Structure 1
Amino acid sequence: MNAPRLPRTLLTPDLPRAVRRLSLVRRVMLLSAFLAVLGAALAGVALPWLPLGLGLGGLFAANLALDHWLGRGGSTALILQLGLGADVLVLAALLALTGGAANPLASLFLPPVLFAALIAPGAFAWLLAALAMLLYGLLIFWHLPLPDFGEPAIVFNLHIIGMWLTFAVSACLITAYVSYLSRLLAEREAELDAARETQLRDEQLVAVGMQAAGAAHSLSTPLNTLTLLVDELAASHGGNAELADDLTLMRRQLAVCRDALARLKLGAEPAPAAQPLFATLAERLDGWRSLRPDVRLDWQPPPGDDPLVLLEPVFWPAFFNLINNAAEAGGGEVTVSARLQGEALQLDIVNRQGCLSAAQLRRAGLTPLDSDKPAGLGIGMLLSHATLARLSGSLELTNRAQGGVHARVTLPLQRAKEGI
């Protein structure tokens, strides 16, 4: 089946925003026109005031109607086309009442055509350009003459001044709007770069997930074998107290491995439940200590109340990835502190040895880091960064001046309702 044909892409990534900006420009131009007409009236220049007022008032009313329609969710492309078409038609009517093509303001046909070419390239831009050229040509033959200003030299000087004013207005409009569109394009390029980086990270995570699924399948048999061997060793050496303690530790670690593989096979985590934040962190860190008795972990909870929050289960693997990295790179000593920053949790994980290179700091969380661990895969930081980003959190890595690496995790918190 063929994919549906998409509409022609516009130059600006945010068409409603561009249309609102054009509406603002139109209002400024209308205000300038009303002031010019008022000045001419005060100077005693004889002009057809009623048709001029009706033309300017009609364009003002059309602009208000289009703004109202845009606010109610109307077709943005149609609003853009109607607005630019009204600009050209009203300008032609005003020029027909004030000298036609001889009026130096006739060059103001150019900005609407340029805006159409920039914002809505294609058939409409060509149609508007053809309409502007046709109207400009007709104004050469059908128009009311300008009032008599006296000496030809005065008329010529006024014409030159009007041409300069028209050029100045056109230059300001074009520069301002093209600069605005260029800024929008730069923002879109930045968003595309971020999207490419996210896509690269997601592709790497998919590859890691496929590897993990294969590992889960492959590790089930060795884990069952090790569990049976531990049971046999416990049965055959029941009187050895030192060995019994080691076997108990092995059972706990094997149970942790089996639980992790079971969750991986199921592909889902339980829904988050309300829990006291800092007490839960302390409990989880105590469990981690039992698995890593070789590491000295200094936990520094903040003073004060312990809020009841909902923590996503996927947060914990990301959190302990960072602690494991810090423990293995920092000589077996890690400090973890926590505090609340408004409605967000800030965790600081510090190890006092080693450092990351400038290249590693630049690439942290985007590609697997080079790992100095004997069996390190260099993907722990990638996984932690991706998980925290999914939870609307962030991860910052900095080298400490006195040695070691400082990892700062910021995680928005979801407060649990009382009584849950």
Structure 2
Amino acid sequence: MESKKENISSLGLGIRVKTLVNLRWIAVLGQTITCFIVHYFLNFDLPWIEISLTILALAISNFALYPGYSINNRLNETSTTFVIAADIIQLALMIFFTGGLSNPFVVLFLTHIAITVTSLPIRSTSILIILSIFLITILGFFNYPLVNDTLDLTIPLIFIIGMWISLFVTILFLTFYAGGLTDDSRKTSAALKIAEDLLVNEKNLSSLDGLAAAAAHHLGTPLGTISLIANELKNENDIPDSAKKDLIILSDEVEKCKAILGSLGEKPSSDDDLITKIELQALLEELCELIKAKGIDFVINFQNNDPNLKKFLLLRRSELLLGLSNIVENAADFTSSIVELNVSYNNENIELKIQDNGEGFSNSILNRLGDPYVSSRTNSQKEDKGSGLGLGFFISKTLLERLGISIIAYNKSLPETGAIVSVIIPTDKRL
């Protein structure tokens, strides 16, 4: 379980070497052009030796990435952190030699923060944010002042303090806002990948009959050849009796194999309702087998005990079976004694209410149910029953909504306890 969590948490982290190299070349070119414009067109005196060495250091470090990494590979977390940290320090040196916080280009620190919070986990992000704030603070006190013979560039202290505060607040805002959105996106992508894998596995199981038919078709020819040769050898006069007995046994075994393959090759028609569709009552009874395996009692109630409702046909969709089974198993995990499946209908929908008599959903996460990695029960329940990744309800909701099915989760009204998941199936779609 731990390895799975680590894999998910690292999904999508790191930056492609090609992307990072291109961004750094843009930085080299941009810094060079800006310094020329500031010096020759705006008449500012700049410490050219220090600035040139700082830009040259960035260019050399960029060349160093070429032999160490394939251009299309992604850097791991550690390498990405070191590269961005080096870029932050290089930018700080450039700002240091060109006026400190009075330099309007100090806002470029925010680009590194944006890259950091969208590409790295919280540990590396925290390190780089602390480094940035530390360097910005140093630049407020120590720097090479900008010099212009025609302008008075004395910067009031209140301006420096205001610039530091604005950068600090913006960095925090970017961290929590962009970082939060990115984290949600990563979790959703990882959860959808897991849901897709489960769905593919379910569909692969459903396609085994097709594989069996193909195997029967391809093995039929070599088995026929073996049978033909064995029969011809039996009729040879110079074959010993013991060998003929073996050939008879071989022929019989070949016929048995052909019979088995023949039964496997009888692939049902895709138009056969017994195969492609399932009655609602049969579907619910099939789901309740999952509950029986856990030793939990169950009851299925149909509105007015309507026989037409019981025989309502649904397509055997993998999304439907997997989505409903997750909800039923979740109810069985957290009920104290019994799981109820109550079915009602109107002209437009069939409503299936799956309810247990456990503690119910935690109020703190009830509105967030359906989000990935949000466990659907209270802490005490998770300790008693064990806690997974919080993906079961998310997977069910995602798969069922693909079929146009709605899901609503809520708790029973007091004094009763327990959770209810209402699954609303449109009657006109038949899924």
Smaller-chain TM-score bracket: 0.3 to 0.5
Q: What's the TM-score, normalizing by structure 2? A: 0.41
Q: What's the TM-score, normalizing by structure 1? A: 0.42
